């Protein structure tokens, strides 16, 4: 039944209390070293930031209904889209899956009692909150209008908004990421339970590991780059300002050296979640385990070599552009491999259409579109027309919202019973998954057309080209549906905390070490460290089908 020594560890009389009941004071939460509690702290924090980011998104969509805007001034609009980008990317998308799902599950999945460095883990949450507060303060008191990309020399010499404080916030949050990355790498290397070999690791762990490698190698570079921008603002050191002898394009190189891999920081953990959910709800072993595992590493490696495709029209040389374009095409291959392997996993499974699986279907559909539209932007000629337009906006929302947020919601719905020991109403879950999928496509498909028509991104007014309006209205209509879709889970998930039925240790009949311990798990996860004797995802669709057909009475 499980990958562990046969004895089920939970629910014995002497079993320790769950991590939720290990202490009720605020202090016991705020000074906890328990990775599960820290994950919950992160869940609360990223939800708050997601809320703020969504408010900004709604303002953008409302504003664009009319070619001359609806309610905002130019500079307010610029601050709003900057806030949307910074909050969503630095404070939601990057930490969402690793710091919430990864934090909670990674140690349990490999059979460890905690991450290697619990205090560092807690520190990373505080750094994240501190960074987030800096950014929110900067936005509340005057705002910042550089766009999340902080392009120089606008950010370093021209903008007179709160650039410095915002950058300090992003800088601090970067160290929070780094702390999590170091913790994950060490934990995966050193804390695996006996028998948990590298190729028995759940693919979610592989995804988190590859993500951590990117974080460790990339985040420090953007940290120092942003620091240089601040120093240029404060001391006029001239590294990026042409008036002072510097080169503004150097900033773009350094920035995208991190920020392109950052896209993979956001998507790789989501892909990891998909593996866990798709196997459970098709009752199948994952197809092509090794190919999926190594494609994560390939994405992490190649992802560092493609940053120049953001700069095809920024005056970089033709040959430089060709190299980056070629490598960008190569990085598409590992993603294709994953998609095909997931498709093959469903084949001959025993498919259960429950909420997490619907999100997986949504993920695959949207990620395929997001990934393939990336090819337009990796192609040097079409990129000339499409870059810096709504085509780019639509493309990266398909990857980040369609990919990361769908993956996050799939994982949240899959492990919610493990987190809190409560079930949510599945029908509401399915409904909201459907609404999100429809709303998302209505919001962002029109933006592909807008981009091709030539609507530049970060435009407040488009009265020069009023023919764009139809598509903007369509997009805004879709966004309102999407907003409803996001509100429903917020309601029923919170409802389930109090009124949801008890989930039991393994409501889905899932494999994996996290399902062998009680829900919610005890503080030290395992009474005794398990010994792993089985391959991962030991599902058997045929056997499950046979069991299903046995009448209920004989089953007992």
Residues 295-334 that bind other proteins (CB under 8 A): 313-315, 318, 321-322, 325-326, 329-330, 332-333
Does 191 sit near other proteins (CB under 8 A)? yes
Residues numbered 244-273 forming contacts with other proteins, rule: CB under 8 A: 244-250, 253-254
Does 438 sit near other proteins (CB under 8 A)? no
Residues numbered 159-188 forming contacts with other proteins, rule: CB under 8 A: 159, 178, 181-183, 185-187
Which of 72, 130, 137, 344 touches other proteins (CB under 8 A)? 344
- Least separation, in Å, of the C-beta of 377 and other proteins? 10
Q: Which two tokens stand for residue 33?
A: 């070293």
Beta carbons of 266 and 400 less than 8 angstroms apart: yes
User: 47 vs 314, which CB is nearer to other proteins?
Assistant: 314
- Least separation, in Å, of the C-beta of 375 and other proteins? 6
* Partners of residue 522 on adjacent β-strands: 18
Does 239 sit near other proteins (CB under 8 A)? yes
Measuring CA to CA, how many Å separate 343 from each of 120, 278, 284, 330, 369? 39, 10, 12, 21, 15
Q: Which two tokens stand for residue 349?
A: 């499974």
Query: Which long-range CB contacts under 8 A does 10-13 form with residues at least 24 apart?
Result: 10/505, 10/516, 10/517, 10/518, 11/505, 11/518
Which of 16, 339, 428, 488 touches other proteins (CB under 8 A)? 339
Residues numbered 82-111 forming contacts with other proteins, rule: CB under 8 A: 107
Does 196 sit near other proteins (CB under 8 A)? no
Which of 461, 480, 495, 527 touches other proteins (CB under 8 A)? 461
Does 198 sit near other proteins (CB under 8 A)? no
The per-residue DSSP string of 158-182 comes to I--SSHHHHHHHHHHHHHHHHHHHH
User: 369 vs 409, which CB is nearer to other proteins?
Assistant: 369
Q: Which two tokens stand for residue 390?
A: 């709504």
10 Å CB burial of residue 381 (0-12, 13-18, 19+) is exposed
User: 388 vs 426, which CB is nearer to other proteins?
Assistant: 388
Beta carbons of 276 and 508 less than 8 angstroms apart: no
Q: Tell me, what DSSP letter sits at residue 502?
A: B
User: 483 vs 513, which CB is nearer to other proteins?
Assistant: 513
Which of 30, 44, 384, 491 touches other proteins (CB under 8 A)? 384
Measuring CA to CA, how many Å separate 354 from each of 141, 271, 431, 497? 45, 19, 11, 19
Residues numbered 509-548 forming contacts with other proteins, rule: CB under 8 A: 524, 529, 541-542, 545, 548
User: 372 vs 423, which CB is nearer to other proteins?
Assistant: 372
Which of 24, 26, 464, 553 touches other proteins (CB under 8 A)? 464
Residues numbered 109-148 forming contacts with other proteins, rule: CB under 8 A: 112-118, 145-147
Strands of 244-312, DSSP E: none
The per-residue DSSP string of 26-51 comes to HHHHHT---HHHHHHHHHHHHHHHHH
Measuring CA to CA, how many Å separate 103 from each of 113, 120, 125, 259, 340? 12, 12, 11, 23, 28
Does 225 sit near other proteins (CB under 8 A)? yes
Q: Which stretch binds other proteins (CB under 8 A): 22-30, 98-106, 370-378, 503-511?
A: 370-378
- Least separation, in Å, of the C-beta of 399 and other proteins? 14
- Least separation, in Å, of the C-beta of 113 and other proteins? 5
Residues numbered 46-75 forming contacts with other proteins, rule: CB under 8 A: 74-75
10 Å CB burial of residue 113 (0-12, 13-18, 19+) is middle
- Least separation, in Å, of the C-beta of 509 and other proteins? 11
How far apart are alpha carbons 241 and 478 in whole angstroms?
41
**Residue partners of 146: CB distance under 8 A and separation at least 6:** 82, 154, 155, 159, 161, 163, 166
Does 385 sit near other proteins (CB under 8 A)? yes
How far apart are alpha carbons 357 and 363 in whole angstroms?
10
Does 481 sit near other proteins (CB under 8 A)? no
Q: Which stretch binds other proteins (CB under 8 A): 2-10, 12-20, 366-374, 503-511?
A: 366-374
User: 21 vs 348, which CB is nearer to other proteins?
Assistant: 348
């Amino acid at each position: 039944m499980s990958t562990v020594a046969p004895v089920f560890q939970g629910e014995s009389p002497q079993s320790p209390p769950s991590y939720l009941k290990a202490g009720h004071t605020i202090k016991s939460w705020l000074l906890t070293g328990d990775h599960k509690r820290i994950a919950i702290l992160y869940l609360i924090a990223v939800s708050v930031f997601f809320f703020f980011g969504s408010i900004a998104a709604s303002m953008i969509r409302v504003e664009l209904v009319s070619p001359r805007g609806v309610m905002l001034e130019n500079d307010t609009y610029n601050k709003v889209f900057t806030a949307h980008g910074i909050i969503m990317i630095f404070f939601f998308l990057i930490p969402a899956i690793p710091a919430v799902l990864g934090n909670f599950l990674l140690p349990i999945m490999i059979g460890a009692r905690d991450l290697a460095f619990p205090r560092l883990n807690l520190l990373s949450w505080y750094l994240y909150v501190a960074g987030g507060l800096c950014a929110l303060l900067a936005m509340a008191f005057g705002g910042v209008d550089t766009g999340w990309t902080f392009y120089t020399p606008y950010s370093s010499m021209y903008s007179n908004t709160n650039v410095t404080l915002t950058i300090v916030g992003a800088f601090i949050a970067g160290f929070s990421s780094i702390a999590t990355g170091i913790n994950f790498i060490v934990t995966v290397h050193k804390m695996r339970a006996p028998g948990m070999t590298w190729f028995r690791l759940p693919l979610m762990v592989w995804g988190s590991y590859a993500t951590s490698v990117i974080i460790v190698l990339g985040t420090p570079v953007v940290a120092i780059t942003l620091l240089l921008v601040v120093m240029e603002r404060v001391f006029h050191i001239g590294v990026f300002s042409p008036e002072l002898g510097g080169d503004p394009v150097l900033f773009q190189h350094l920035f995208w050296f991190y920020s392109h891999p950052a896209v993979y920081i956001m998507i790789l953990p989501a892909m990891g979640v998909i593996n866990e959910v798709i196997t459970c709800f098709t009752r199948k072993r994952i197809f092509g385990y090794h190919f999926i595992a190594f494609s994560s590493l390939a994405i992490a490696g190649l992802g560092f070599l493609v940053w120049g495709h953001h700069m095809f029209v920024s005056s970089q040389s033709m040959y430089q552009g060709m190299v980056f374009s070629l490598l960008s095409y190569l990085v598409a291959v590992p993603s294709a491999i994953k998609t095909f392997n997931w498709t093959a996993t469903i084949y001959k499974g025993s498919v259960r259409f429950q909420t997490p699986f619907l999100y997986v279907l949504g993920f695959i559909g949207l990620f395929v579109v997001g990934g393939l539209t990336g090819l337009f932007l990796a192609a040097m000629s079409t990129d000339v027309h499409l870059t810096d337009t709504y085509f780019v906006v639509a493309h990266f929302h398909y990857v980040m919202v369609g990919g990361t947020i769908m993956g996050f919601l799939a994982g949240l719905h899959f492990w919610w019973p493990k987190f809190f020991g409560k079930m949510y109403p599945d029908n509401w879950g399915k409904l909201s998954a459907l609404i999100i999928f429809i709303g998302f496509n209505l919001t962002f498909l029109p933006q592909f057309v807008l981009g091709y028509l030539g609507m530049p991104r970060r435009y407040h007014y488009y009265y020069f080209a009023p023919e764009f309006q139809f598509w903007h209205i369509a997009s805004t209509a879709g966004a309102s549906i999407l907003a409803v879709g996001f509100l429903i889970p917020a309601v029923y998930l919170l409802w389930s905390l109090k009124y949801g039925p008890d989930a039991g240790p393994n409501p889905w009949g899932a494999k994996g070490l996290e399902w062998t311990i009680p829900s919610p798990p005890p503080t030290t996860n395992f009474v005794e460290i398990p010994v792993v004797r089985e391959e991962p995802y030991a599902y058997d669709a045929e056997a499950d089908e046979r069991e299903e057909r046995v009448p209920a009475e004989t089953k007992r």
